Amino acid sequence: MTPRTTGTVPRRRTLRLPSRLPFRLPSRLPVDGYVLALLGTVALAALLPASGAAADIAEGASTGAVALLFFLYGARLSTHEALDGLKHWPLHLTVLGSTFLLFPLLGLAAQGLAPTVLTPQLAGGLLFLCLVPSTIQSSIAFTSLARGNVPAAICAGSFSSLAGIVLTPLLAALLLGGAAGDLSADGLLRIVLQLLAPFLLGQLLRRWVGGFLVRHKKVLGHVDRGSILLVVYTAFSQGMVAGIWHLVTPARLGLLLAVEAVLLAAMLTLTWYGARRLGFDRADRIAIQFAGSKKSLAAGLPMASVLFGPQAALTVLPLMLFHQMQLMVCAVIARRRAHDTETEDRESTPVGRITPLTGPR
């Protein structure tokens, strides 16, 4: 006996997935793509280092790239905006003190870790990291994400970069001694010709080239990054030819990362709670924390190539690692600061009251 059909198709049982996963997939990789490019450049220098005539060509190109970088830095920095930003001088002095006073003091204290924890070369690189100026782009980005004082972050980063052109070489010569080439006549001439003169030329020509730089900002950004990659390749090729990489072991790298994590945590804590003790409001404290706790890879790498020559490879290694660490940690902190600000705004608004709009009538 055949079963009677009713004309309807029986439903198939489907597997229902939960509407919300117990975890959230990251929207992007936590590793900066440019850091991956830097690591790839280091690998290229390890496999195919420039030597002989190729090394001379690479060194000449690297020298030109450094001069180009600092010319672009000078041409982009608005002198008028920087002078206007001086009105908030207590904040800028706090950031400069964090960058060129607190950081170097911690870097000097870390020199006691050599040679037991860090090799003398890595300890010197850690100290150089502490002498480099602050960032501009990432300080602005994180301050904006955390709902802080963005104009203050712009001015603070600009002042730090400007001061670093003079202070970083001077502090490196004073604290690192012979490793930075001392302040001989040749060393001073090299710093003036490769760093200061192109920067001043960019400032002088900004009136005529500023519009061009704005219109081609994206292309010139690739020029910036490509120039830094060339500097990294030249420095690490010189290190490979000199045979200095046998001094770095995986254990030493692990210890270096641990020391840098402590350094970053100390600076994030000091800038946040120190700014609170000094009486800054929340928006200013956010700008101070992000501008005062980070170091510029874009400025540090070219400076190291000028100051240290063949020894620049090991010197910039701590800076490269610290750069990636600071991006990952500050991204988390910026999101938390933004969430805390939203919570405070909700709690400060009485229930049932509509917050009036402010603006021109």
Please, are residues 96 and 159 in contact by the beta-carbon 8 Å criterion?
yes
**pLDDT 10s digits, 247-293:** 678 888 899 999 999 999 999 999 999 999 999 999 999 999 999 99
pLDDT band at 347 (very low <50, low <70, confident <90, very high): low
DSSP string, 91-131: HHHHHHHIIIIIHHHHHHHHGGGTTTTS-HHHHHHHHHHHH
Which pLDDT score, from 0 to 100, does residue 245 have?
65
Higher pLDDT, 356 or 321: 321
Nearest to 236 by CA among 111, 115, 320, 119: 320
Least confident of 71-85, 135-149, 155-169, 287-301: 71-85
Asked if the model's pLDDT at residue 16 lies above 60, the reply is no
- H or E element in which residue 317 lies: helix 312-348
Residue 81 CB neighbours (<10 A): 12
Asked if the model's pLDDT at residue 10 lies above 60, the reply is no
**pLDDT 10s digits, 143-169:** 988 989 888 888 888 888 888 888 998
Dig out the tokens for 323 from the structure.
């750069």
Which pLDDT score, from 0 to 100, does residue 305 have?
81
Which pLDDT score, from 0 to 100, does residue 289 have?
96
Q: Which of 64-68, 180-184, 196-200, 252-256 has the highest mean pLDDT?
A: 252-256
Residues 229, 37: Cα–Cα separation, whole Å: 8
Least confident of 186-190, 200-204, 224-228, 305-309: 186-190
Q: Compute the average pLDDT of residues 33-60.
A: 83
Nearest to 121 by CA among 234, 246, 35: 246
Which pLDDT score, from 0 to 100, does residue 230 have?
85
Task: Tell me the residue length of the chain.
Answer: 361
